[in-house]
Amino acid sequence: MTAQETGGQAPSPFDRLAQQWDDDPAKLQRARAVASAIAQRTTRGGVWLDYGAGTGALGLALLGHADRLVLADSSAGMVAASRAKIASAGLGETVTAVRLDLAADDAAPERYDGVASLLALHHIADAGRVVGRLAGLLRPGGWLALADLDAEDGSFHGQGHGVTPEHHGFARAQVRDWLARAGLVDLDFSTPWLNHKDGRDYPLFLAEARRPPGSAWAVALH
């Protein structure tokens, strides 16, 4: 993939990995497990955003819980892979894929009844600020569902295929504080998945919270 194909930017490691991303069946199993946990607590229907969607595994697993779905990622390669999957499955009327980087202050195209993200936050330097922006994209009563690694010692990624994380997971108290500062309520944590790697378990947390009904729409820019 050339810089021209990525909007003038040099290809990221995720651009290079996009075509092989779904070759690991554990990634798809993990996405389905997280989607099932999200669906058990959040309100069905409406328009949902999967942020940091990669090839769309989480979002597509939520299709059926959502009426319409937007898959968003900062990697042009991942967006291209998502669009190919959408076209192959004939889902163009209900699913779209867009390039979006909230860390770079891109503007989201609309507001959502639900926003979900799986293992994206630990790749974002100012993750707390982006959580605030994601919360600001919710319609009143809408749900934010964030799944990522519990704090670990840095061994999870190892060599990482050239991908260097910004954080080695997060303490749940830190995530709780971000969601509270964003004005969300009804916060709940669960552990929908254990990543098994090199003889170790790395827990994945799921934090779900809701924008209060009647609250104003506003994109938080902390």
Task: Please tell me the predicted confidence (pLDDT) of residue 25.
Answer: 86
- 177 pLDDT above the threshold of 60: yes
Q: What is the pLDDT of residue 164?
A: 83
Residue 219 lies in a domain: no
Q: Does the residue 61 lie in any domain? A: yes
Asked if residue 125 is part of any domain, the answer here is: yes
Query: What was the pLDDT predicted at 215?
Result: 64
Residue 137 lies in a domain: yes
Cα–Cα distance between 13 and 1 in angstroms, integer? 11
| 24 belongs to a structural domain | yes
Residues of the domain holding 66: 13-210
Residues in the chain: 222
CA distance 70 to 92: 11
Global pTM value: 0.88
Q: What is the mean pLDDT of the chain?
A: 89
The verdict on residue 164 lying in a domain is: yes
**CA separation, residue 4 to residues 1, 9, 100, 198, 200 (Å):** 8, 7, 17, 38, 41
- 75 falls within a domain: yes
CATH number of the domain enclosing 70:
3.40.50.150
- Total of domains in the chain: 1
Q: Tens digit of pLDDT for each residue in 79-138? A: 999 999 999 999 999 999 999 999 999 998 899 999 999 999 999 999 999 999 999 999
